[in-house]
Amino acid sequence: MVKKCKDKFKDKGDINGQKKSIKERRRVNQLYFDKNLSKRAIFRKERLSRGFVDNWTQSPDQDLTKDDRGRKKGRRMKWDKSTERRIKKIRKHLEEETKEFYTGATAVDLEWRRKYPEIDPPPLRTIGQIMSDLGLTKENKRGRNKGAAKYLCYPEHTIYSLLGGRVLESDFIGKKYITGRSEPLNFIGFSFKKEPKIRYFKRIESQRADDFIAQSKHFFKEFEKPYYMKVDNDPATIGSGSGKRNISKVMKFLLENQVNPIFTVPKRPFTQASIEGNNSVFSRKFWNRIEFKSIEEVDEKIEWFNKSSIEYLGYYRPKEKKIKKEEFIPKIYLIRQVEEDKEKKEGFINVLNEIIHLPKSYIKYYVLAEWNLKEERIYIRFEKEKESEIIKNISFKINPSSKEKCQEILK
């Protein structure tokens, strides 16, 4: 009986492995023939071997179910000692090379392709397993549980799927210090959560709106301009802490560039998880690894780090779909957690220093406020089971002084 159960489980694993393989083959075939990506771009983007990509880009109608591997599916391939030696050598090189900042399986795969272009590397999973067998890996700490955000209906799916378009995340990084200098250094980070991914950092003079705008302009020109930009509720980006319904300098800049801003939940850094994770990578892989002696050294090596990160993530600039000016609808999005008004016994959110009341059934849950500047109305959206519904919409007039400065945007 026990043997029968094991065989049944093994067969199920083989089926799942086959399904995954066929899915990868189909994706590679579609990227090559339908999306017109080069083979090089595909194997870098999908982290697959060059041979795999060659095999499944022979014809748009080839049989994607054929399997000639000559071994049972689900069984790990045996690699010779020379493969292990190469992986060990590459790992050591990555750890010792000052311009390299990543040492995991993906970094080993990329370096293998540079050093041995005529030999296909093992699959990423196999590289990781070999490194583990050789004692070359460190156990990663488990990340924060995302269950709370999901339980409280954080509008993740609405922002990244239903709104449509690329979402760039940006945040100021906490103050850093170097030996012999009392004045702190400031940095800003940018990242895309969805493919093609990127991590990018720059040193800035201070955490002000002008610095944010200057570095955002640089990013748009150097890489790509997103449809949306998710930023923290820093005074430099969201504006006045007392004025009501104002359009800040950063909001105006983004809207003029046809980018709709999305502001995160105040004092809830885990709701900005991907950019906070991005900043954690900055600290672990870059800042805490090097003892900097001057600003010049920081500026030089941060460019090394950016180059290494871009290569590691396989970033490529996607084709931009230009939006006609008359088609762009200027909107400002704000993610908020519904609080309790104990006197009125109902829920409320604070949107640009205006209180909007909601039914008490939404208390503690997250909502997404969508301010349509042309209509001067605000729509409160609630996401449940990946469905977004409008639970309230009211008139929300732009502050007259802001409106006067934003006539071009509102045309």
- Are residues 390 and 369 in contact, defined by beta-carbon separation less than 8 angstroms? no
In-domain check, residue 27: yes
Q: What is the mean pLDDT of residues 133-157?
A: 72
DSSP-derived secondary structure for 91-106: HHHHHH-TT----SHH
- Indicate the range of 184-198, 210-224, 261-275 predicted with least confidence: 261-275
Residue (of 198, 200, 169, 196) closest to 187 by Cα position? 200
Any idea which residue has 């400002």 for tokens? 332
Structural domain harbouring 58: 1-67
Residue 205 pLDDT greater than 90, yes or no: yes
Residues 56 and 97 in one domain: no
In-domain check, residue 76: no
366: Cβ contacts below 8 Å, ≥ 6 apart: 149, 152, 153, 154, 155, 265, 271, 335, 336, 337, 338, 383
In-domain check, residue 46: yes
pLDDT digits (tens, 9 = 90+) for 83-136: 888 888 988 888 888 788 888 888 888 888 888 888 888 888 888 888 888 888
Residue 395 pLDDT greater than 80, yes or no: yes
Residues 61 and 98 in one domain: no
205: Cβ contacts below 8 Å, ≥ 6 apart: 186, 211
Residue after which a domain boundary falls, among 92, 112, 137: 137
Residue 164 pLDDT greater than 80, yes or no: yes
Say how far apart CA 241 and CA 255 lie, in whole Å: 21
- pTM value is 0.72
Q: What is the mean pLDDT of residues 239-254?
A: 92
Q: What integer pLDDT is reported at residue 1 of this predicted model?
A: 39
In-domain check, residue 321: no
In-domain check, residue 104: yes
Q: What integer pLDDT is reported at residue 67 of this predicted model?
A: 57
DSSP state, 178?
-
Residues 10 and 56 in one domain: yes
Using a pLDDT cut of 90, give the percent of the chain over it.
47
Name the band, by pLDDT with cuts 50, 70 and 90, for residue 271.
low
Of the two residues 270 and 244, the one the predictor is more confident about is: 244
Residue 366 pLDDT greater than 90, yes or no: yes
pLDDT digits (tens, 9 = 90+) for 55-77: 888 877 787 776 554 444 444 55
Residue after which a domain boundary falls, among 89, 107, 137: 137
Of the two residues 396 and 116, the one the predictor is more confident about is: 396
> Number of folded domains in the chain?
2
Residue 219 pLDDT greater than 50, yes or no: yes
What would the two tokens of residue 131 be? 């490194």
Residue 365 pLDDT greater than 90, yes or no: yes
- Indicate the range of 136-150, 255-269, 289-303 predicted with least confidence: 136-150
In-domain check, residue 143: no
